[in-house]
Chains A and B, each alone.
Chain A
Amino acid sequence: MKATHLILFLLVILVGFSCIDLFEFEMQEPERTLTVEGYITTQKKVHIIRVAFATGYGSRFLGPSSGIGGAKVFINDEEGRIELLSDQGSGIYHTSSEFAAEIGKAYSLNIELRDGNRYVSTPELVTPVPPIDSLTYQSTRIATSNILNDEIGVQVMAHFQDPRDQQNFYYWPLLESDFVIISEPELYRLPPIHPTNPRGAAPKACCSRCFHKETPSPFSVNTISDVDFNGLYQRRVIAYVRDNGIRFKEAYRLDLLHLSISDGAHRFLSLIDQQLRLRGTVFDPPPANIRGNMVSLSNPEEQVLGYFFAADELKLRVYIQKSKLEFVLSPPTTVPDDCRDYLNPDGRNSDPRAGMNPPLLPIEPPFDWNPPN
């Protein structure tokens, strides 16, 4: 009986070994994907196009997204006019400062890489954007998962007439904006590593009011189609700036653009916005592969990321004043230092080896700072 068991045991082991097959697994390495970012507008200025390789996730690190230099990049319109862009390095290409798109014309972006691969965008038609009658703003409170702290912010609303006779697509990108930063230099304390008086009170006489510049946050893609309100007068939220306790202590000058874009550009931007809003919950839409409008002439199967579009542009500006807000974040964030040192408190953000010193914030307003009374 024991011998039988032993034989059976050996047989089982042998059978088991003989069943193992080596599974050859070749993981698909992600390829570098061409990415095109940029748009042109009807304002005469330098328009910027960025051409880069995006890096995919993979088992190996393929390096950061790198700009592609030495490409020939130009924009042509339907009448055969061509604007050749100048290579600024790092994949950045500039139009001349005199270049502007024209309403009613369609524009294509053309890219020829040094390896001979050529890409072209589908034509993008510029349609007129209706003027904005006025901009207003209001405080807003958003419940968060933290029951003790709601999110406070400011919504900016545009009042305008949507044209009845055409389908419109709007896009409102936020620009770098200026605001007054209020600090409390009288509350300054010495740094904890101070040799004789760590954290000792050392009030500063100056300065409590400076001017700072930032790109408003949170980042979002504000775009909409008039399919639900064609021809109706609009009072529409076009921007939202979160109150972080510092932005709205006095005045915040929000700069943004009012753009008319194409159906394709709107669809692309909407999908980008949708993907950016994924929070990992069961209610999220599935992650999607968003197709742009660049076509590879060398290999039509090649996926090119990004979307080139042309838009009519109006620049918008609104001064958000604390005195006119119903409420702000309370208590506000205290900045116990000279406001000029806001970017570099106690020199903590300096890097002497690299010779990097964050600049002092100015106490003088920008030359065109002109808040309403």
Chain B
Amino acid sequence: MLLLACEEEGPGDFSLFTEEIVNVRGDRLIVLGRIVAFQNTSLDDHGFYVSLSNEFNSPIIISLGPTNRPGRFVGETTGLALGQKYYVRSFVSKNAETLFGNTLEFETLETALFDFTPKTQFPGETITITGRNFGETVEVFVGDRKADVLSLDFGFRIRVRIPPSAGKSEETLKIITSGKTLEFDQPFKYVSGTYRQLNAVIPGFRLVDNVYFQQGDRFFVGLGMNADRTPSNFLWEYIPTENRWIEENFPGETQRLSGNSKTGYFGGGYSDLTNFPFELNQDYWFFNGETFQSIPSSPYDFAESFGYMVRGDFYIAGGKVGVGSVVYRYRPSLDTWEIRPNLPFLVDKSMVYFSKDDFLYWVDQDKQVRQYNVFTATQKIVAEYPSPFIDEVSDFGGTAIVVGEKAYIGLYNNARDLWELDLITFEWARKNPFPGNIQATNTAIFESEGKLFILRTPRFQADMEFWEFEIEGFN
């Protein structure tokens, strides 16, 4: 009886902890507290105090009401100021007495912009902006024009519809939220690129299986054959000032589906046009600006191969004769061929390919853009071609050209799409779709002064088409 009479219940028979800041997101805080006791304790209230000062002046009180059970409790509040340091502590009230747990501090983050994709878009289409701590109301401006906000997810992602352009291809992208104005450093770009069909025609010829190359502002195209299967053992040069093609003599034999560096080195391929198996023509040539020079033939037979230049050396790789991954290199300084490590995959001319610096790039049948270092013989996937491929319909016949740090890839068979690939960031930007006849093959592509020149051979037309594409042209 004496012992029992001595028992007294007081506020000190439990411990209170502000356990952990679970989440701080935008103006929202989630915090955990814990009452540690050996038995139930009747409490009038429990919760948290949140304040900008560690003296807890004018606190935000998260009141969770009475409780009598020890254990974990969780508090949540919104409406905190962004970019501020806060203090939080748990509390319990019992018999008009308030007890506090330990104090934790946390910081709310300012609203910020992270990224938007795609960087280039048509008017009326959507882009997605990501960032943090967007308020409940958000306004997005492209230049000075307001864009429709389609959705705002969890304060971090905004989907907007792009307004009509105001005649400029580049505009600033601005977001106003929670009374703050934020702007991306990188401008938003409307899809650009204008096409113009030139009236320079190669009379009576519809060239296929040909070679083409560019030296400065001189464009050359030829060899291969006419689409009616007559040989083409000559080339044409385009004279821009006169907007016409003139015929160049070629000292060699008919040569089609050759490996073609697009710089003046070419060779290999077939000599005949009709009989299968095709007879090989393994002559190799270099156009030095004035004449075609014969160079030694590769020790290995190539046809329908990749041809590309890296650091002044001519490489030929893959193809449909023999092993489709073999690589040989011609070194002009030594006038010799040498074998190089095989490519990790089989390749041939039906794939789009190009070279830049130490790398060969190609787009495989799965739309993967593979980057292959010709010196370390390592490859990796750097991007995926954004347009769909349809088997045997639009997964071949494309073209590519490098201009500065960008590659222009597309115009696949039966497709109008042309894309710009940034070779540093490997981001894609759409260009305006090709307006002409898509029942055609790409015969040659050149570039000069911010313009692409594309020669195409339509399937059901008498003459080839020659198009000028102004890369940054904008209507």
Contacts and interface: CB of A to CB of B under 8 A. Distances in A.
B30 A79 contact: no
A108 B23 contact: yes
Contacts of A108: 22-23
B286 interface: no
A300 B32 CA distance: 9
Contact of A297 (B74, B109, B112): B74
B306 to A, nearest CB: 22
B460 interface: no
Interface in A52-109: 72, 74, 76, 78-82, 84, 108
A226 B203 CA distance: 80
B132 A122 contact: no
Interface SS of B by simple majority: strand
Contacts of B154: 72, 74, 82, 84
Contacts of B23: 76, 108, 110, 120, 123
Nearest to B131: A80
B30 A120 contact: yes
A77 B353 CA distance: 40
9 contacts: A76-B25, A79-B109, A80-B25, A80-B26, A80-B109, A80-B132, A120-B22, A122-B22, A300-B71
Interface string B144-156: 0000000001111
Interface of B: 20-26, 30, 32, 69, 71-74, 76, 109, 112, 114, 132-133, 153-157
Contact of A80 (B30, B73, B156): B156
Given A82-B132, A295-B22, A122 B112 contact: no
Interface of A: 72, 74, 76, 78-82, 84, 108, 110, 120-123, 295-297, 300-301
A368 to B, nearest CB: 12
A76 to B, nearest CB: 6
**Sorted from nearest, which 6 A-B pairs have the closest CB atoms?**
A80-B132, A82-B156, A300-B74, A80-B109, A300-B73, A108-B23
A76 B109 CA distance: 13
Given A80-B132, A82-B156, A301-B71, A122 B32 contact: yes
Nearest to B33: A300
Which of the listed residues A78, A80, A123 has the most CB atoms from chain B within 10 Å of its own CB?
A: A80
A80 B26 CA distance: 7
Nearest to A83: B156
A81 B73 contact: no
Nearest to B24: A78
Contacts of B155: 82
Contacts of A76: 23, 25, 156
Contacts of A301: 69, 71
A209 B49 CA distance: 69
A21 to B, nearest CB: 30
Contacts of B69: 301
A108 B29 CA distance: 13
Contacts of B24: 78
Contacts of A110: 23
Nearest to B30: A120
Contact of A81 (B71, B76, B114): B114
Contacts of A123: 20-23
A300 B74 CA distance: 6
Contacts of B32: 122, 295
A74 B132 CA distance: 14
Contacts of A82: 132, 154-157
B383 to A, nearest CB: 12
A78 B32 CA distance: 17
B312 to A, nearest CB: 35
Nearest to A110: B23
Given A81-B132, A82-B132, A295 B153 contact: no
Contacts of B73: 300
Nearest to B111: A80
A86 to B, nearest CB: 12
A84 B109 contact: no
Nearest to B76: A297
A282 B271 CA distance: 87
A72 B24 CA distance: 18
Contacts of A72: 154
Contacts of A80: 25-26, 109, 112, 132-133, 156
A341 B209 CA distance: 48
